[in-house]
Each structure stands twice: as C-alpha cells, then as structure tokens.
Amino acid sequence: MNNSIKLPQKLMLLGSGELGKEFVIAAQRLGNYIIAVDRYASAPAMQVADCCEVISMLSADDLEAVVIKHQPDFIIPEIEAIRTEKLLEFEQRGITVIPTAAATNYTMNRDRIRELAHNELGIRTAKYGYAITLEELIVISDEIGFPNVVKPVMSSSGKGQSVVLDKSEVEKAWNYAIANSRGDSQKVIVEEFINFEIEITLLTIKQWNAPTIFCPPIGHRQERGDYQESWQPAGISEEKLLQAQEIAKKVTDALGGAGIFGVEFFITEDEVIFSELSPRPHDTGMVTLISQNFNEFELHLRAILGLPIPHIEQLGSSASAVILASEKSDSITFTGVAAALSEKDVDIRLFGKPTAHPYRRMGVALAKAANVQEAREKATKAASKIQIIS
C-alpha cells in the first residue's frame, strides 16, 4: 500500500448491518464508491451505499459473481460468516482484503484465532476445549469444570452461547449451540467461566505505513452473550492497559494488514485475559460515535486507505446503550424518539433494519456526561424511551 492513494476507491462491504452503515457513511464522506453486500435486502448499509447485492456470502460462486461484476479495489468484511477461502483467491488476484484474507480466515471461527493466540503466541486465555459431538462435550466439560461457557465456533453476538452451571445442562447447551451455529460448522468451544471485574474492548488501529495506535479502552456489559451497554473510558489501571495493548499488538501483528480491530479482554483482579477479536469495527465501539474526534468507522476507513490519523481525542465520559426489539415484526415504527432526544448530549441511531425479532438490535442510544456513571444512566434512559411498535 503506498502513501499516494487516489480517491475515490471502490469498496465492497461484505455484511451490511449497523456497523457497515456507519462505515459506509464515513467512506461516502470522502466520496468513495461502495457496494454493500448481505444476505437480505434493505440491510442498513445498503440504504446508504451506491449499490447493493443480495447473496449468500458463504457461497464461493456468489462471491465470485459480485466481484467479477463490480471489480472492487478493496473487499471489507463486516461479519464473520463469509467463505474466507475465496477471499484468499481474491487477494491473490490483486484485490486488497481487509485486514488480510488470512486474518479473516483466522477470525471466522473461534478455534483458529484461539489456537493462534494461545498456542502460537502464548497468550493467556480462558482454559478451553472443543467438541464435535454431545459425547465429546460431556467429557471435555468435565475436564474444564463448571461453570463453563459453550459457544458454536462460528457465531457472533452471543448466538448459540450458554453458561453451563452443571452436568445436567450440558445437553441443552449442545443443542442450543448447534441450532444457532452460523455457516456449516458443527463444532463447539467450551471455555472456563472467567469471573471478571470488568471486560473491555481495546480498539486497535493497524496501519500500512505507520505504527499501531489504540483508542482509550471501552468497558462493556453483556447479557445472553450480547452487548447491552458500553462506556469509554473504562476505568482500568495503567499497568493493565499496557498489558492489554501489548497483547493486542502481538495478535494484530500476527494477523497483519490494516484496519481497526476490536480486541476483547476479561480483566480480573490480577490478570488481563485475552478473549477474542474482530478484524473490523466492534459493536461496543459504537460509543465512539459520540466519544471521540474520529469514530471507529472513520478510523477503519483511514487505516484501510492509508490516510493519516494524526491524533485521536477522547471527548469525555461517554456511553452507549442498545435499543432491542421485543417481538417478531416486519413493519417497524419507533415511538419515543423526541423524548429520548430531549436531554443535552444525547443522540441516537436507528439502524433501519427491515424486520425485528426478540433481542434483535435495532438502534443505539449515545450519551456524554460529567462521569461514566452518569453517561451510562443517560444512555440507558434514552434507550428505554424508544419503543418499537408493529
């Protein structure tokens, strides 16, 4: 990647959810041409892109057809469930895959990135094991101990994930994981349950021709394995932050390429434990839509295009809180928007997803305040004012 990139560039986004939508907005602001791709029509990023394609991103033939048709300069994955072997082929044909085709292959499934981090790089993770049958899961669960966490190796946002308290719950966890696994994998990971004080996302920006830089850490709270609220800065010690940065640098260096990574850690009283990472903007990083001079989507874009990031400024205690659907619906109307926006330093995003189902993330509330506690309360209050009626 050279320093004299010309704009516009043609960017193909694989996955067109809420994170993609904000990325497209950032890319449009610099006049780029974006093709938004996803498995369903009218996905959030498609609503703001130059054009869109509806395909199965797990199908090599479908991917080939859209790449031939549009001839993108960059392919930018936005979800995990992509036929990543095909991305390797596109990269060999001269298209830049973000962060690299190999990195998307490593992070598509939890097992590959876990093996890289733990076995090859020697990074501390939760104790873990794998199973491809219920019988194997019963044996490995005993070895790991209880409580533990069972997840499909291919899934995100907590889909198919459960905390298993004892032996009697193993079968239920297996069935739930297999039923909710994305893609064609039938493999699960079992992890020791980490009793953390706080969990954080460290947004790590890897650049083509400049050093790796970091955003201030983001704290978050999850339910059902899915993010509910996040805040920045996360109150962790300087020493733990430096440890997290060192680990994030090690893993992202091993993956290579350029772009933003959301590196997740469990912080216990005396340890920094690597959990997983997204080689793209992170859902908990939506707080940066209000908390920084450059949000995570703008940072991703600059890193991808080799544009400078002279300074990242944190603008003060900030928080995000999700707006979730409670029932199934294919006609979405929001009420309470005016009430949510009535307070100073509060903003919202409504993603424009065409359908809803229980717990689907439909929007996010953002807030800034004098301290993190107040920012969290403000964001949560604003989110609670928004109702989805169908």
Ligand X SMILES: NCC(=O)N[C@@H]1O[C@H](COP(=O)([O-])[O-])[C@@H](O)[C@H]1O
Catalytic positions, please? 156, 158, 264, 276, 283-284, 361
Peptide linkage before 8 cis (omega within 30 of 0) = yes
Q: How far apart are CA 357 and CA 17, in angstroms?
A: 15
Taking alpha carbons only, the member of 323, 386, 354, 306 closest to residue 41 is 354
CA angle centred on 231, ends 358 and 377, rounded to 5°: 75
Alpha helices in 265-368 (DSSP H): 288-291, 296-305, 337-340
Residue type, 376: R
Q: What's the Rg (C-alpha) of the chain?
A: 20
Place of tokens 């609503």: 47
In this complex, which beta carbon is closest to ligand ATP, that of residue 174 or of residue 227?
227
Verify binding: residue 169, ligand ATP, rule CB under 6 A: no
Confirm or reject binding of residue 78 to ligand X (CB under 6 A). Answer: yes
CB-based contact 267:240 (threshold 8 Å)? yes
Size of the site for Mg ion (CB under 5 A): 1
Based on the shown chain and the rule CB under 6 A, indicate whether residue 160 belongs to the binding site for ligand X: no
Q: Does 78 bind ligand ATP (CB under 6 A)?
A: no
Q: Which of 158, 306, 352, 354 binds ligand ATP (CB under 6 A)?
A: 158
Q: Of 58, 64, 124, 193, which one interacts with ligand ATP (CB under 6 A)?
A: 193
Report the candidate in 15, 87, 20, 80 with the shortest Cα–Cα distance to residue 54. 15
Is 376 annotated as belonging to a binding site? no
155 forms part of the interface with ligand ATP (CB under 6 A): yes
157 is a site residue for ligand X (CB under 6 A): yes
Is 276 a binding residue for ligand ATP by CB under 6 A? The answer is yes
Contacts of residue 128, Cβ cutoff 8 Å, sequence gap at least 6: 114, 118, 144, 189, 190, 191, 192
Which distant-in-sequence residues (6+ apart) come within 8 Å of 162 by Cβ?
A: 149, 150, 169, 172, 173, 176, 177
Residue 322 token pair? 């999700």
Least separation in angstroms between CB 47 and ligand X: 13
End-to-end Cα distance, the chain: 48
Stretch that binds ligand ATP, among 210-218, 275-283, 313-321, 369-377 (CB under 6 A): 275-283
Nearer to Mg ion (CB atom), residue 257 or residue 285: 285
What minimum distance in Å lies between the beta carbon of 80 and ligand ATP? 8
- Of 220-239, binders to ligand ATP (CB under 6 A) are 222, 225-227
CA 312 to CA 339: how far, in whole Å? 32
d(CA 117, CA 127) in angstroms, rounded, equals: 13
Which among Mg ion, ligand X, ligand ATP, none contacts residue 206 (Cβ within 5 to 8 A by kind)?
none
Residue 155 partner contact from ligand ATP, Mg ion, ligand X, none using kind-dependent CB cut-offs of 5 to 8 Å? ligand ATP
334 is in an annotated binding site: no
Q: Does 386 bind ligand X (CB under 6 A)?
A: no
Whole-angstrom CA distances from 194 to 162, 174, 253, 272 are: 14, 20, 26, 11
181 binds ligand ATP (CB under 6 A): no
Scanning 137-145, 238-246, 353-361, 371-379 for contacts with ligand X by CB under 6 A, the matching segment is 353-361
Binding residue for ligand ATP, selected from 149, 170, 303, 388, defined by CB under 6 A: 149
With contacts defined by CB under 6 A, name the span among 50-58, 147-155, 320-328, 329-337 that binds ligand ATP: 147-155
Q: Name the residue nearer to ligand ATP (CB basis): 32 or 125.
A: 125
**Integer Cα distance of 3 and 307 in angstroms:** 8
Please give the residue ranges that form the binding site for Mg ion (CB under 5 A).
264
Which segments are annotated as binding site for Mg(2+)? 264, 276
Interface ranges with ligand X (CB under 6 A): 15, 17-20, 78-79, 156-157, 283, 353, 360-361
Residue ranges of the binding site: 18-19, 78, 110, 151, 156-161, 191-194, 199, 264, 276, 283, 353, 360-361
